[in-house]
Amino acid sequence: MNNIKELRLLKKLSVQNLADKIDTTVRQIYRLEKGERNLTQDWMVRLAKVLECEPADIISDATTNILPEGAIPMPSGFALLPVLGAVQAGTWLEVDDQQVEVCDLEHIKVPLVADYSADKHFLLKVIGDSMNKKIPNGYYAICVCADGVNNGFPSVGNMVVVERTRFNGSMKEVTIKRFKVVDGRDVLIPESYDDKYKPIYPDQEKDEGTEVKFVAKVVGTIGFDL
């Protein structure tokens, strides 16, 4: 999974020695070595400094896939993907509002979906509970860019990230919903334990100066105790 233990032993460091040198606990070192804690870029840099290696040396069997900018190679089938922002599960989230603290991690280790090119994967933090039957508030949506999905995107049943542009392009907002077609109309369906959330009809959004487009397909989710 990673080379932390091997590199530590090469430096003749005990778990306690390593923990002291990077200002953490023995428990955290054990969790990192066993893959029980997310190996973020920050952890890799801190460990590499003490272990006198490059951050990439901490990761074994790096995949040769072309990854998105900012991604870090991981064992085959996985990558540390960048968190590009947030998406609202509920109402629309203005893109500019994503400058608020979205995530204290720059990258998260996730499985890649073999059906899609690795360089089209990215992550968004989900805020709100209109999709909490599938994605709890605070989890991360594993997304594939629309141009990385087949020509039939979106297909009925896809979970999608939707962007709404208003006021002649001066405001952009995003949300996440399930895409369906009802009586010939595109519908964005919430999947929540709270029935206050109602379907969104994109054709109603397309008033003067407003554009709605599907920007990504959600192919998975990940959440963990930090």
- Sort 211 into a burial class: Cβ within 10 Å, 0-12 / 13-18 / 19+: middle
Q: What's the whole-model pTM score?
A: 0.62
Q: What is the mean pLDDT of the chain?
A: 79
In order of their start, the domains of the chain are 4-58 (1.10.260.40), 72-222 (2.10.109.10)
| Residues of the chain scoring pLDDT < 70 | 1, 60-78, 90-91, 94-106, 205-209, 224-226
What is the per-residue pLDDT across 7-19, written as a single tens digit (0 to 9) for each?
888 788 899 999 9
